Amino acid sequence: MNIDHYTYRVTWSAEDNEHVGLCAEFPSLSWLAPTPEKALGGIRRVVGEVVAEMQASGEAIPEALAEKQYSGRFMVRVPSVVHRSLATEAAEQGVSINRLVSAKLTV
């Protein structure tokens, strides 16, 4: 498992008054540091340690989001009034509901 393929993010934590490093594939892990660079380095180190421990104990290691295959399809349940509104808007625009919702999601 290459930890470089995981999805890392650094953001400011006003509560902690520091930058926090996060990894989407390991949502329970974080690393606080005074600079964004140190927060990123810290979370990468922690993820590496956790992956090594998981490998040693034979645990399943999360797949990197970047390496997963996505079909481009997912189902969303909405109230019937929202469905009707979307269907009406799509008809007025002369497009399918799928095309309308896809366009709304990419904005």
Across the range 67-94, mean pLDDT stands at 94
| 1 band by pLDDT with thresholds 50, 70 and 90 | confident
Indicate if the pLDDT at residue 96 is higher than 90: yes
Check whether 77 has a pLDDT greater than 90.
yes
Give the pLDDT of residue 64.
96
Helix, strand, or coil (residue 15): coil
**Tens of pLDDT along 38-66?**
999 999 999 999 999 999 999 999 999 99
* Predicted pLDDT of residue 107: 78
Task: Flag whether the pTM goes above 0.95.
Answer: no
